[in-house]
């Protein structure tokens, strides 16, 4: 009974952190859709937008630190912060290039490939084992989201290379750095870690974004004519991004990289549903069937992971009980 009472608050925190991640991620996707789509305000500067997101997040974190709300008490070596920023920014930039150079179908396939890539990398780097139920659930999620989202698939050499770099950098970032590595290594809180990592990412992206966006669009930001609506949605996107980054770091250490990827596709399903409800997007029977399969896969994956945890805890409890019994028997002799 005591164990259940101890687990309950932790479970509530997990649900809260994940819910905040899903809601903020869906919100920023919807805001960016209105800001960046040709039917909206046609703001085509994706890397610049990312730099604005990180800049506002860094500003919020630094102000919070200055007023004493989140004091900085830990030191992370500069080279680790630089490595963190390089991998994270490579992921962002390569993803933007992949989005521009590839067809929507192949871009979505590259995103889906992150799930098996993360699983394989966790197995290679950390020796993580996956149960048969977890593997089947991963397949269900990937196939379901693929059925729902993949349409035309065209591949070219440059796009394929950018997609590979994006997948590898994102997977490495989540496994080795993002998902709890620095937090566990230096016993640092999620918000303090966010405060230490975002300023360097913001500065480096602000420096690189004019060149990258000019290469992708042939235009500089100064060529864009801001309207009041575009400015409002830009502020909205940046504001939601702060919550998105905070919630992302709250999830650090709570979920494995593979779980983070699998459950992350919940956002894809939510976006498709909201687009259908709010923007009159058409959903075919194929879309509905794919979404249903993906949802069942997510439920099955959650069940499989919880079953693995319960089995591990039961085994640990039995081993502890046997050890105590052995010690008592030895002392009695």
Q: Is 145 part of any domain?
A: yes
* C-alpha span between 52 and 55 (Å, rounded): 5
Residue 312 confidence class, pLDDT cut points 50, 70, 90: low
Q: Which tokens sit at 19?
A: 């819910």
Expressed as residue numbers, the domain containing 208 is 2-314
Which of 49, 38, 39 is CA-nearest to residue 93? 49
* C-alpha span between 109 and 145 (Å, rounded): 9
Residue 258 confidence class, pLDDT cut points 50, 70, 90: low
- Lowest-pLDDT choice from 26-30, 221-225, 326-330: 326-330
Mean residue pLDDT of the chain comes to: 77
pLDDT at 135 over 70: yes
Q: What average pLDDT does the segment 266-287 reach?
A: 70
HSE (CB half, 13 Å, CA atoms) of 74?
19
Q: Is 206 part of any domain?
A: yes
Q: Is 161 exposed, middle or buried (0-12, 13-18, 19+ CB in 10 A)?
A: middle
Q: What average pLDDT does the segment 212-231 reach?
A: 90
pLDDT at 322: 55
Domain count of the fold of the chain: 1
pLDDT at 73: 75
Q: Is 93 part of any domain?
A: yes
**Is-contact 122 258, C-beta < 8 A?**
yes
Most confident stretch, 58-72, 91-105, 115-129, 207-221: 207-221
Q: Is 7 part of any domain?
A: yes
Q: Is 325 part of any domain?
A: no
pLDDT at 270 over 80: no
* Helical residues (DSSP H) of the chain, grouped into ranges: 2-36, 46-66, 78-101, 104-112, 114-126, 132-149, 157-172, 181-186, 190-217, 228-250, 257-278, 285-332
Greater model confidence, 181 or 167: 167
pTM comes to 0.74
Q: What average pLDDT does the segment 313-320 reach?
A: 58
Q: Is 326 part of any domain?
A: no
pLDDT at 294: 78
Residues near 113 by beta carbon (within 8 Å), at least 6 away in sequence = 167
- Lowest-pLDDT choice from 130-139, 261-270, 308-317: 308-317
pLDDT at 119 over 60: yes
Q: What average pLDDT does the segment 109-129 reach?
A: 76
Residue 95 confidence class, pLDDT cut points 50, 70, 90: confident
DSSP 197-225: HHHHHHHHHHHHHHHHHHHHHS--GGGS-
Q: Which tokens sit at 268?
A: 């894809």
pLDDT at 297: 78
Q: Which tokens sit at 302?
A: 């959650």
* C-alpha span between 193 and 244 (Å, rounded): 15
pLDDT at 173 over 60: yes
Instruction: Tally the residues of the chain.
Output: 333
Q: Is 198 part of any domain?
A: yes
Q: Is 331 part of any domain?
A: no
Q: What average pLDDT does the segment 165-185 reach?
A: 72
Q: What average pLDDT does the segment 172-195 reach?
A: 71
pLDDT at 196: 86
């Amino acid at each position: 009974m005591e164990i259940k009472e101890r687990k309950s608050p932790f479970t509530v925190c997990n649900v809260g952190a994940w819910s905040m991640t899903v809601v903020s991620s869906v919100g920023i996707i919807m805001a960016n859709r209105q800001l960046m789509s040709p039917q909206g305000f046609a703001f085509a500067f994706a890397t610049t937008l990312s730099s604005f997101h990180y800049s506002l997040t860094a500003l919020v974190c630094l102000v919070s630190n200055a007023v004493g709300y989140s004091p900085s008490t830990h030191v992370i070596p500069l080279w680790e912060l630089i490595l963190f920023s390089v991998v994270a920014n490579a992921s962002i930039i390569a993803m933007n290039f992949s989005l521009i150079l590839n067809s929507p179908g192949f871009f979505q396939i590259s995103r889906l490939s992150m799930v098996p890539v993360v699983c394989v990398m966790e197995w290679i780097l950390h020796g993580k084992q996956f149960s048969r139920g977890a593997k089947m659930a991963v397949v269900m999620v990937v196939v379901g989201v693929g059925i729902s989202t993949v349409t035309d698939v065209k591949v070219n050499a440059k796009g394929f290379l950018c997609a590979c770099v994006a997948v590898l950098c994102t997977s490495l970032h989540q496994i080795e750095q993002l998902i709890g590595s620095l937090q566990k290594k230096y016993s640092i809180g999620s918000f303090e870690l966010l405060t230490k990592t975002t300023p360097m990412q913001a500065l480096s992206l602000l420096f690189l974004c004019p060149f990258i966006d000019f290469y992708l669009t042939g235009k500089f930001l100064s060529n864009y004519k801001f309207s009041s609506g575009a400015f409002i949605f830009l502020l909205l996107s940046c504001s939601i991004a702060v919550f998105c980054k905070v919630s992302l770091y709250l999830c650090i250490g709570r979920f494995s990289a593979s779980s983070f990827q699998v459950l992350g596709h919940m956002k894809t399903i939510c976006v498709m549903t909201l687009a259908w409800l709010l923007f009159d997007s058409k959903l075919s029977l194929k879309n509905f069937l794919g979404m249903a399969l993906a949802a069942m896969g997510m439920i099955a994956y959650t069940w499989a992971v919880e079953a693995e945890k319960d089995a591990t805890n039961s085994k640990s409890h039995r081993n502890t009980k046997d050890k105590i019994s052995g010690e008592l028997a030895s002392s009695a002799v």
